[in-house]
């Protein structure tokens, strides 16, 4: 078997080897059925058992209260950019959006098709990039909800605290930080997350929605985007992405086994600190995000001489470090430190960065 590389992909992202090995072992004969979970009907009793177990495991590790529904929806998180205003702006066609990066900006642009979008705040780049100060926020008095992205994967900007919305339901795109940062679900009207970064293969999005925030859909909201209908069909209004659902359950079990979300969060701080220490100790590397708003999950950085970028990537790959190139809109490099990226991988990257500077600095 070829050696596995250190995979810093921003998504689809690395899965823990322990989970991959279990998938391998069960691939041809799942639950003694004599066939793969990929070949199982979603109506099969054993798959329904797995789906129910997945929901309970997620409820356990995130402490999801009983007055919240958990939906396993087909498709990527970007579907929710339309689903959210379609479900929640029927009675009040105003919605507040924090636009602090590419993904929240995309969400706001999509929502403008269905409701009046008020931009609460944007990034502040006077010197080092961050989020506009609270006194500059422009929250509406009659918004149906407030939308934000706690962690922006492309720029590496993170909200240090959950925004105060003064009673207006808060909607959070946690695609890049679910199961990696510890949140109190009670603070939110809705949480959603595409699974391809911290949970499972791409193709499914988890939606956690409060009961009293569900029965407001516009009359023309498509049935497959209507949360109430999805819930009535137990997340199976059509054939769901069964393989992603199955892997999600394995991941929830893995998180439980390894100390829960609090342990994942502590490890995230530890891993990211190792890279920021290298970046901040020299002028050879730089990160333009203000310390207060730095992500502990996605660490972007630039070399002082961008002409060295191709060589950095080439030499990194020779050292088994892959998918380190930054987003096309930002350039430079980006290390995504999801739960599937262990300390060994981070240590390898940190040592490579030091060695590369010695050779080319």
* DSSP, res 129: B
215: closest CA among 233, 230, 236? 230
174: closest CA among 160, 200, 195? 195
CA pair distance 47, 35, nearest whole angstrom:
12
Known catalytic membership, residue 103: yes
Give strand pairing partners of 116.
94
Contacts with 201 (C-beta within 8 Å, 6 or more apart), sequence order: 12, 195, 243, 244, 247
Out of 30, 103, 245, 254, the active site residue is: 103
Known catalytic membership, residue 173: yes
Cβ–Cβ < 8 Å for 14, 341: yes
Out of 30, 69, 96, 197, the active site residue is: 197
Note the residue count of the chain. 361
Integer-rounded Cα radius of gyration of the chain: 21
Which element (helix H / strand E) includes 238? none
Cβ–Cβ < 8 Å for 80, 145: no
For residue 111, how many other CB atoms are within 10 A of its CB? 21
Omega before 12 within 30 of 0, i.e. cis: yes
Out of 30, 173, 254, 271, the active site residue is: 173
Q: How far apart are the first and last CA of the chain?
A: 36
CA pair distance 143, 127, nearest whole angstrom:
32
Beta strands 94-99 and 116-124 are parallel
Distances (CA, A) of 281 to 275, 343, 345: 10, 20, 20
Known catalytic membership, residue 309: no
* DSSP, res 320: T
For residue 44, how many other CB atoms are within 10 A of its CB? 16
CA pair distance 178, 159, nearest whole angstrom:
14
Kindly list the catalytic residues: 103, 173, 197
């Amino acid at each position: 078997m070829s050696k596995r590389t250190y995979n810093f992909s921003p998504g689809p992202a690395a899965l823990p080897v322990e989970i991959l090995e279990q998938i391998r072992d069960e691939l041809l004969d799942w639950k003694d059925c004599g066939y793969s979970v990929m070949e199982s009907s979603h109506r099969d009793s054993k798959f329904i058992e797995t789906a129910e177990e997945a929901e309970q495991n997620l409820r356990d590790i995130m402490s999801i209260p009983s007055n919240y529904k958990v939906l396993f929806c087909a498709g990527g998180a970007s579907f929710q950019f339309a689903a959210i205003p379609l479900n929640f702006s029927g009675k009040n066609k105003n919605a507040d959006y924090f636009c602090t990066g590419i993904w929240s900006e995309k969400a706001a642009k999509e929502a403008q098709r269905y409701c009046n979008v008020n931009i609460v705040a944007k990034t502040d780049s006077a010197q080092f990039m961050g989020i506009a100060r609270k006194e500059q926020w422009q929250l509406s008095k009659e918004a149906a909800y407030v939308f934000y992205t706690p962690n922006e994967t492309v720029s590496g900007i993170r909200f240090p605290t959950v925004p105060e919305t003064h009673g207006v339901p808060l909607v959070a795109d946690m695609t890049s930080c679910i199961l990696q940062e510890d949140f109190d679900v009670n603070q939110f009207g809705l949480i959603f997350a595409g699974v391809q970064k911290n949970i499972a293969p791409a193709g499914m999005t988890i939606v956690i929605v409060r009961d009293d925030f569900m029965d407001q859909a516009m009359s023309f909201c498509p049935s497959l985007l209507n949360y109430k209908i999805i819930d009535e069909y137990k997340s199976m209004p059509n054939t769901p992405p069964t393989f992603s659902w199955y892997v999600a359950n394995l991941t929830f079990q893995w998180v439980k086994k390894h100390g829960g979300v609090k342990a994942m969060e502590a490890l995230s701080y530890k891993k990211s600190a190792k890279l920021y220490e290298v970046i901040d100790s020299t002028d050879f590397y730089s990160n333009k995000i203000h310390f207060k708003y730095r992500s502990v999950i996605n660490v972007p950085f630039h070399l002082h001489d961008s002409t060295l970028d191709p060589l950095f990537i080439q030499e990194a790959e020779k050292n088994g470090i892959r998918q380190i190139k930054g987003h096309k809109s930002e350039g430079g490099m980006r290390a995504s430190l999801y739960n599937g990226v262990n300390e060994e991988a981070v240590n390898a990257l940190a040592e490579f960065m030091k060695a590369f500077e010695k050779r080319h600095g």
